[in-house]
Amino acid sequence: MGILLLSVFLSLLLGFDLGIFLSVYHYPDGITLFSSIFPKITIILLIILILILAYYLISKKKQFFLISLIMIIFYLAFTYSFIISKNRIDKLISTPPSRFVNGYVKVSFLNKILLQSSNYNVWVYIKDHDQEFTRLGANVVVVGKFRHFYNYLTNKNFLSYSLYLLKDNVPFVLYSDEESFIDTVGEENIFVKVANDIRQNAVSVFENNLPLTHWLSSSLIIGESSDLSKEFYENIRKAGLSHIFSVSGFHVGVIVGVLIVLLNLFRIPKFLQFIIVSSFLAVYSIIVGMKPPVVRASVLASSVLLIRAINLNPNYLNITSITGIAMLMVDPFLSVDVGFILSFIALITIILFSRYINDAVTIACNKFFKFEMGNLSKETVSLFSVSFVATMFTLPIILIWFSKSSIVGIISSIVMVPLSSLNITSGMLSYISYLTIPTLGEIFFRATNLFNVVFIILTNYFSSIPLEISANLNFLYLFLAIPLYYYLLSVSIVKLPEILK
């Protein structure tokens, strides 16, 4: 059942992704492509499907029936995503250009904001002195220079950016310059305002109690990166720690762990724990802007807690696959969201392969070094296994998307993941206790400040280690090398414990 659900999820992901990609890459010949390529694909798939079914009837092997199901799902996903993507492209192109945009701030990151208007979204790149207008939920009016989606779409050098704009339903991009104007007008979106008030309250508390390192706690815990310097952000990338600062499943896992420990101290029943934690995660997801990795991790965590509450054993692969299928069915354009892809690929491969690395390291320690592992050693090996698997399986995707990847992340994560867990835990406890027992909050803030200082020093150190890979990948490499890389990596990891024995 686990492999079936995983296969369905990957078929949807690949089908949606390929359909959207082709609709963008072959514009404006999309209709011609549709009429010429689809009949051929249909015929080829039908022939292969008949051969597989015939072999299935002869051999009675169920995996061939699974392959047939995967092919059907892939083709339906491919067809559907091509059509809806082409329709969205036509809509974005037909949106009349304007030098005036009025909307609510939906996303705020470093020097850009995403405005949500009544019919579409607009990315606005802002100047440093316009940072005050990046408040989530603010009703902002912008007048300035724009670039239409069509200009990016027809330039193949901007293919990735075209997908990025298409995903976010953005017909044009505005650039703030000397001739532009930006200001807040009217009332804020009430729903976003409530979430943002909680967010800004946390930021203010951190600023007042952590005058020198508040920006680190705000960024790590709630994803508030407006005070994060570009220099330190570059050091984060070089150190291979971007996943820690991108609010995602890791942060949800830390939060759930803290809450479960606190609830267990007060002997709260499991079903009530499920209600409390799920409610907290729902609020947290809203506060950080309903980011797909956070939503995915929150759904996963809530599902696991519910299954535990009714005394069943959770199957993490099934839960992950079902969550991915549901999210893709709601929004097929998530298939071209690199954050969505990386988070699911990392989680799935960790579930499937990390235990083999664990076993291999344990066997090697016992056989070659005569070393028996204690609890701390096992936790360290587990962190290494998770970091190694996630890094190696996401490496090709990162290279394709960003043309750069930091291998030092395998090493730095072993140190920085546990440390960031302490940062997040201490920061959360500092904020909660400050609101309830201020004296206790002051003690936690001192610990948080210490963890932050150590985190900054180590991040800068790891960023100085020259272990960065750069690559400009062509189609032939993608077609030949990447499947071979994944095959060899998977087989090597699975066979490694047997070889060491």
Q: Convert the pLDDT of each residue in 158-209 to its tens digit.
A: 777 888 888 888 888 887 665 666 666 655 566 666 777 777 788 889 999 9
pLDDT surpassing 90 at residue 453: yes
Peptide bond into 39 cis (omega under 30): no
Residue-level pLDDT at 135: 66
| Count of residues in the chain | 501
pLDDT surpassing 60 at residue 295: yes
Residue-level pLDDT at 100: 76
Residue-level pLDDT at 106: 74
The answer to which of 143-152, 244-253, 397-406, 440-449 has the lowest mean pLDDT is 397-406
Residue-level pLDDT at 359: 86
Residue partners of 129: CB distance under 8 A and separation at least 6: none
477-492 pLDDT, tens digit per residue, is: 555 677 778 888 888 8
For domain 100-184, the CATH architecture is: Beta Barrel (2.40)
Residue-level pLDDT at 474: 56
pLDDT surpassing 70 at residue 53: no
Angle between helices 2-25 and 338-368 (to 10 degrees): 130
This prediction has a pTM of 0.76
317-370 pLDDT, tens digit per residue, is: 888 888 888 888 988 998 888 778 878 888 888 888 888 888 888 888 777 766
Can you say whether the dihedral through the CA atoms of 367, 369, 374, 376 is positive or negative? negative
Query: In whole numbers, what is the pLDDT of the chain averaged over residues?
Result: 78
The residue extents of the domains of the chain are: 2-94, 100-184, 249-336, 337-407+472-501
Task: Give me the percent of the chain exceeding a pLDDT of 70.
Answer: 77
Q: Evaluate whether 481 touches 340 at the Cβ level (below 8 Å).
A: no
57-90 pLDDT, tens digit per residue, is: 555 555 666 666 777 787 788 888 888 888 888 8
Mean pLDDT of 5-18: 83
Find residue 100's DSSP bridge partners.
143
Q: Is 299 helix (H, G, I), strand (E, B) or coil?
A: helix
With residue 396 as reference, give the H or E element that holds it. helix 375-402
pLDDT surpassing 70 at residue 132: no
Residue-level pLDDT at 129: 47
225-247 pLDDT, tens digit per residue, is: 777 787 888 888 888 887 787 77
Question: For residue 199, what are the CA distances in angstroms to 288, 310, 492?
Answer: 8, 34, 45
Q: Evaluate whether 236 touches 118 at the Cβ level (below 8 Å).
A: no
With residue 149 as reference, give the H or E element that holds it. helix 149-153
Nearest Cα residue to 245 out of 463, 52, 72: 463
Rounded distance, CA 413 to CA 132, Å?
A: 34
pLDDT surpassing 80 at residue 464: yes
Residue-level pLDDT at 413: 77
Rounded distance, CA 41 to CA 85, Å?
A: 19
Residue-level pLDDT at 44: 54
Nearest Cα residue to 106 out of 98, 96, 97, 115: 115
Mean pLDDT of 272-284: 88
